[in-house]
Structure 1
Amino acid sequence: MRWGSSPWSLSLSLSLGGALLLLGQLGVVLADIPIEATNKESLKEAGKTITGPMWEFYLANQTEGIPGKLTDTWYVAGAMFMTMIQFWHVSGYNEHNSVVSHDLMFQAGRNYDYFDSNYSQWLGNDDQMFWGLAAITASETGFPEVSNKPTWTSLARAVFTMQVNRWDERACDGGITWQIHPWQAGYTLRNSISNGGLFQLAARLGRFTNNQTYFDWAEKIWDWSAASPLIRTSDWRVADSTSGSNDCIDAGLMQWSYNYGTYIAGAAYMYNATGDAKWANRTEGLLDHLLGYFFPSDASKGYNGVVFSDVACEPLHTCDRNMLNFKGWSSMWIAMAAILVPELRDKVMPKLQGSAAAIGRSCDGSSDGKNNLCGSRWYQDTWDGIQGLEVQQAALGGITANLMLLNDAAAKTIDSNPNAKEQFLDTYNDDTPDALPHITTGDRVGSWILTVLWGGGIIAAGWWLVKQQ
């Protein structure tokens, strides 16, 4: 699980979360990766170069060699597969496809629902959601199916079905909680990445299958999000979370790019599938806020207005291993939005191209035999010393996003990828509310106390970060 609005310092995140990120010793500085942001071949070669050390980090940090399971995290590998599949789609680079395919299917588990009992006791809804997005990405890109296994669409459907069965109207009139089980700290919270991620998954399944049920759920999740403190439609600000313990009357307003990205992409898919102008307006409103906030222009701090930055943590090097991923996923999501809503292309392209050029300059690190290491600050002309799978993945996402636009990489549907049709699995067990342990009063009180303590720490840390800006 991860907490989007917990801006702990790097040292604290290492001690608490066991993150593998290190402030490297700046030794031999390599040449930049030469990137011409308008040249497909240049971007392809840059992506391959960035993938090399990322793949090394992946293989080195698998927990006891378990395919798709990284030390102290589970969802990050699923998000990495999502990124690699999209990069394969726009570049043709297939060197790691067989392992991606095997490990993505392996982690689906015995019931093919990305909720295997080896992990399910401590997962959050957003953990599972990222694997569902990886699976629907495989369907939309035509990633090869696995013989004698469910289709990628079926795996995405299984995640969707489990999660909508967790829709919780006992507080806040709905929404899904961040955590799945009442004994987990943060159980009563409803956060944007869980609800926005499910919204995006529903919209993508709806467009891919043309099944009205998915569209209906996408509408429902959006309407709830906009009625809650999560999306403030007056200025298109997306909050990180709201608390079910006080019926969702407050909001954690720390700004993280991936919260915007999930809703932007989902709204764009809905517009492309339905043609309803309200979805184009929603996509543009959220996109304008993202482009204004996460592409800052401040020469005194090194910002030039065309480089993506998660500004809540990057300037002070306080991003934990989760936050380091955010702008890579968001880059791909806003690229897809610009493809699905073509009127947005002129807004998005200069920002992504500026980011690609910056990535090329900043991925010049070298440590422990690995070269072309990419740090967290793309706006910095040299490697900033942060290393790990997460920063390599973010850089690959930034490169991939540009290739998506240059290739006009429209997502497939069942009509153009009929091999990906849904299958109803005999082994699949729906995760209905009755299947979960009965929630006692003690559970609720305990989860409320844990949430209050956790939330207090988050607010304090957020206040400190804001004061440091």
Structure 2
Amino acid sequence: MSELLALVLYIATLGLTGSICVSAAFLPILNRGCSQSLEHALAAARRLHSYYDKDRGMYSENYYQWTDSNALEDVQNLMLLSGSDAYRETSESSYLARAALDPGTDWNSWLGKYNDDTQWHVLSLWRMSDYRRTRGSDPRPYLAAAERMYDIISAHWDDECGGGLWWTTEHTYKNAITNEQFLLLSAAGYLRNHNQTYLDNANNVWQWLRHSGMRNHQGLFNDGLNFTSCHNNGQTTWTYNQGLVASGLGALSAATGDKALLDEAEITLDATINHLTTNGILRETCDKDTNEGKNCDGDQQIFKGLWTKHLMYYLEFANEPHRAQKYSQFLGAQSAAIYRHATNTTSGDIGSVWYTPNQAGSIFSYKTVTSGLAAHIAAAKYGAC
């Protein structure tokens, strides 16, 4: 059965209601977005999976786990959206799934020192649990692993700089991304488990972020805080920092009913569109269409896709048609630009430069493919063609 035919049958089983009736928060719902973007997403996933090493259960050749977890999350998102089971094995035999399904996994030893990496794993495990639940399988091992990870990273909150979660277990840096992730995990986790501690953590981390000074006069979050002064360090306003705070605020709004949080999220989403684009398309400061100068590294190659994915999550949590409509054209434009400027239509590879035709500067890797995949999925759900 083709993936597009599977989608048609899947819609039919839903009775065209546009929702999936399962008892889980933070679960994608089928939405009428751009069918062309869905086709692009299906093609991108096929190319991404060509990188998959079944023996290691990874896309990465060098155990680059956090980007791998995002790739796994993107594949689950696509299967949840399309109704396809083409990549079911990733929820069973990937390195992350294997660890979650092994009751003997010592998570303190398994996890590295980076608290932000751990939180990417949690998001991926949640998506695996959602996929497994919708297919009639037991989601509990994934949820138990995610809960254990959450408990481990929560212990790295302290009063230095007035609060906040440390970036690593070495406690040398407090930054935006780690705390924005913690906002999302805490608020979305509360929607899943109704544990008051999670909601308390979400409220606390948002108040800390709000008063930390990391959001600058443009409405964008800089990278983090100076270690000695606890002031905004003025470092790069990466796109993903702007997306994660939005999904976190969307989840907190859903948990509390406070709609003002959605307006806070859109301050930063709108600032991204106003300040971090070229030709109306997302662009990192390290994105270069030529091979002159330093280009984006292995982390930075995936950031734009994270922004689009977390805008999608934000819109799911907000669940207000006028907010989805506000960003529909922009999401559709990202998908179209990726296909037009960044996609090798022969190999299916997607490059790192979206905003203009590649002039030998675009990087091609599984990370850039999954970044493009995330953008196509977001447009398939909420974008205009």
Regarding TM over 0.5, the answer is yes
Change in 2 beyond 3 A, CA 1:405/1:150: same
Secondary structure of the structure 2 residue equivalent to 1:97: coil
Q: Which amino acid aligns with 1:278?
A: A
Q: CA deviation at 1:317?
A: 5.7
- Residue 133 of structure 1 aligns with an amino acid whose one-letter code is L
Q: Secondary structure at the match of 1:188?
A: coil
1:131 aligns with 2:121: yes
Structure 1 CA distance, aligned partners of 2:146 and 2:99?
13
Say which of 360, 374, 378 aligns to 2:350.
Answer: 374
2:277 corresponds to 1:291 = no
| Rg comparison, structure with higher value | 1
Aligned residue type for 2:244? T
- Which of these residues, 206, 209, 220, is aligned with residue 237 of structure 1? 220
| 1:190 is the counterpart of 2:174 | yes
Aligned residues: 344
- Partners of 2:211 and 2:106 in 1: how far apart? 30
Q: How does 1:384-395 map to 2 (within 5 A)?
A: 384=360, 385-395=362-372
Structure 1 counterpart of 2:250, from 255, 268, 290: 268
| Structure 2: gaps of 5 or more residues | 1-31
Against the structure 1 CA distance between its residues 94 and 106, is the aligned structure 2 distance closer, same or farther, given a 3 Å change threshold? Answer: same
TM-score, structure 1 as length reference: 0.67
Name 2:100's counterpart in structure 1. 108
Q: Could you say if the C-alpha distance between residues 387 and 267 of structure 1 is closer, same or farther in structure 2, counting changes exceeding 3 Å?
A: same
Residue 199 of structure 1 is matched in structure 2 by: 183
Out of 51, 55, 73, the position equivalent to 1:57 is: 51
One-letter identity of the residue aligned with 1:51: A
**Correspondence 1:147-166 to 2 at 5 A:** 147=138, 150-166=140-156
Partner residue of 1:213? 197
Instruction: Name stretches of at least 5 consecutive residues in structure 1 with no aligned partner.
Output: 1-36, 297-302, 408-469
Which residue matches 2:264? 282
Q: Which residue of 1 is the match for residue 299 of structure 2?
A: 322
1:290-439 mapped onto 2 (5 Å cutoff): 290-296=272-278, 303=279, 305=280, 307-314=281-288, 318-341=295-318, 342=320, 343-365=322-344, 371-381=347-357, 384=360, 385-405=362-382
Write the deviation string for residues 114-142 of structure 1: whole angstroms up to 9, x where unpaired: 8352x54x430011110101122334564
| Conservation of the 8 A alpha-carbon contact between 1:109 and 1:115 | no
Which residue number in structure 1 is paired with residue 16 of structure 2?
none
Cα-Cα RMSD: 2.7
Shift of 1:235: 4.4
**SS of residue matched to 1:84:** helix
Hey, what does 1:224 align to over in structure 2? 208
The 1:200–1:383 alpha-carbon spacing in structure 2 relative to 1, beyond 3 Å, is: farther
Match of 2:99, as an amino acid? Q
Give 1:105 deviation, angstroms.
1.8
- Which secondary structure does the structure 2 equivalent of 1:123 belong to? coil
**Aligned-residue identity in percent:** 20
CA contact (8 A) 1:145 1:151 kept: no
- Residues in 2 aligned to 1:291 and 1:364: alpha-carbon distance in whole angstroms: 22
Are the counterparts in 2 of residues 113 and 155 from structure 1 also a CA contact under 8 Å?
A: no
- Aligned 8 A contact 1:284 1:344 in 2: no
Give me the whole-angstrom Cα distance separating, in 2, the residues matched to 1:218 and 1:278: 15
CA shift for structure 1 position 340: 2.8
Which one is further off, 252-261 or 68-77? 68-77
Q: Which amino acid aligns with 1:308?
A: L
Mapping 1:445-460, distance limit 5 Å: none
Q: Offset at 1:191?
A: 1.3
The CA distance in 2 between the partners of 1:214 and 1:38, in whole Å, is: 32
Structure 1 position 202, deviation (Å): 0.8
SS in 1 for 2:285: coil
Report SS of the residue matched to 2:348.
strand
Distance change (3 Å), C-alpha of 1:132 and 1:112: farther
CA distances 1:401-459 after superposition (whole Å, capped 9, x unpaired): 0122269xxxxxxxxxxxxxxxxxxxxxxxxxxxxxxxxxxxxxxxxxxxxxxxxxxxx
Between structures 1 and 2, the one with greater strand share: 1
Higher RCO (Cα < 8 Å, 6 or more apart): 1
1:174 to 159, 163, 173: 163
Shift of 1:375: 0.8
CA-to-aligned-CA distance 1:279-322 (integer Å, 9 cap, x gap): 122112121112212233xxxxxx2x2x2222344455610111
| Distance change >3 Å, CA 76–CA 274, structure 1 → 2 | same
Task: Indicate conservation of the 8 Å contact 1:243/1:249, yes or no.
Answer: yes
Is 2:66 the partner of 1:66?
no
